[in-house]
Amino acid sequence: MRSTPSRPLSLLVLGGTRFLGRALVEAALADGHQVTLFNRGRTNPGLFPGVETVIGDRTEDLSALSRRRWDAVVDVAGYDPQVVGLSVDALRGRVGRYVFVSSLSVLADQSTPQDEDGALLVLRAGMPPEDAYGARKAASERLVRDAFAERASIVRLGMIVGPHDPTDRFAYWPRRFARGGRVLLPGDPTDAAQFIDVRDVADWIVGCVSKERGGVFNVTGPTIAFGTFFDACRAAAGTPAETVWVPSERLLAAGADPWMGVPMWIADPACAAINRVDVSRALTAGLTLRPLARTLADTLAWDKARGSLPPGQEGLSAVEERRLLGALTH
């Protein structure tokens, strides 16, 4: 149960209508805070009818935010330092705290477990897109920290999961178990997985603002074994299924794509630590995590309600799964 906040705050949310932003707005409203959204009005317009929405494109013009003040801004979906620089400049002196949603992809070394002090990627021309994403986030973090110092809160997220996830990385698995039959499982049961329910992130960010917590935080869930994760998916789905583990090297040889092609599967040793992130600082700062069974049940219910996905958007299609199982298990 939520505790009543000591003082209702005014929060500006840059974004707020897709996935994490949506959960964040729900958490802030549930805690009695007053929320203003700033977005273009394209993604899920009308989602929060009682909430003020200032319409604007953050890449071009933030003048609609001038002459206003808020206790804090949460910049949910800033990806580019030039764009984040515009909001930092527009909001300097107008907000008491700048919360920037970043990513663990900022870390330069994903092969060994890192804490918040690990070296960060530096943006260079010609970087592969996955590195450029992290390097742009790192440069954006720097801008926010330089401008807001101890009034900056940097939230480095691991994989976020749960209802309204626009990717099919996580929802694929409980849905696949619910379909039953022969289920292809990638890698080894002892491989690591690490993710966090988007609603736990949202609750924690709102708490950070209330408690004026500044600094850099790694925010994700506990490391669990892939086998444990799939057992929980099977239990949540409640359908008989035959599981077929296929080692990573065989899947790679058969042309399977890690991460998005076979959801959540990581085969590259250079990324071995991506699921072994130390989150002790966030736990000490009040991060609480709901049970995996709750996240799976809610994700499955949401996934059923939204119906079948358009072709190409499913994590692993039934056709591709059959091809891989046929090629690899005879």
Ligand X SMILES: NC(=O)c1ccc[n+]([C@@H]2O[C@H](COP(=O)([O-])OP(=O)(O)OC[C@H]3O[C@@H](n4cnc5c(N)ncnc54)[C@H](OP(=O)(O)O)[C@@H]3O)[C@@H](O)[C@H]2O)c1
Residues that bind ligand X (CB under 6 A): 15-22, 39-43, 57-59, 76-77, 101, 103, 157, 159-160
Question: Tokens in use for 222?
Answer: 């506990």
Q: Which residues, other chains included, contact 48 with Cβ-Cβ below 8 Å and sequence gap of 6+?
A: 16, 17, 25, 29, 35, 37
Sheet (strand 10-14) strand order? 52-55, 34-39, 10-14, 72-75, 98-103, 152-157, 215-219
Closest approach of Cβ 68 to ligand X, in Å? 16
Residue closer to ligand X by CB (options 132, 159) is: 159
The Cα–Cα gap between 191 and 296 comes to: 19
Residue closer to ligand X by CB (options 15, 81) is: 15
Residue closer to ligand X by CB (options 77, 316) is: 77
Closest approach of Cβ 40 to ligand X, in Å? 3
Distance from first CA to last CA of the chain, Å, rounded? 52
Residue closer to ligand X by CB (options 136, 234) is: 136
Residue closer to ligand X by CB (options 259, 324) is: 259
Question: Tokens in use for 268?
Answer: 């590259």
Closest approach of Cβ 18 to ligand X, in Å? 3
Closest approach of Cβ 225 to ligand X, in Å? 20
Closest approach of Cβ 329 to ligand X, in Å? 31
Closest approach of Cβ 4 to ligand X, in Å? 25
Residue nearest to ligand X (CB): 21
- Which of 288, 277, 132 lies closest to 216 in space, CA to CA? 277
Residue in the block written with tokens 């998916």: 233
Closest approach of Cβ 76 to ligand X, in Å? 4
For residue 230, the Cα-to-chain-centroid distance in whole angstroms is 20
- Cβ neighbours around 221 below 10 Å, total: 24
Residue closer to ligand X by CB (options 41, 261) is: 41
Alpha-carbon torsion 98, 278, 273, 20, what sign?
negative
Question: Tokens in use for 183?
Answer: 């289920």
Closest approach of Cβ 309 to ligand X, in Å? 17
What DSSP element (H or E) covers 152? strand 152-157
Residue closer to ligand X by CB (options 99, 246) is: 99
The Cα–Cα gap between 283 and 279 comes to: 6
Residue closer to ligand X by CB (options 7, 42) is: 42
Residue in the block written with tokens 């358009």: 310
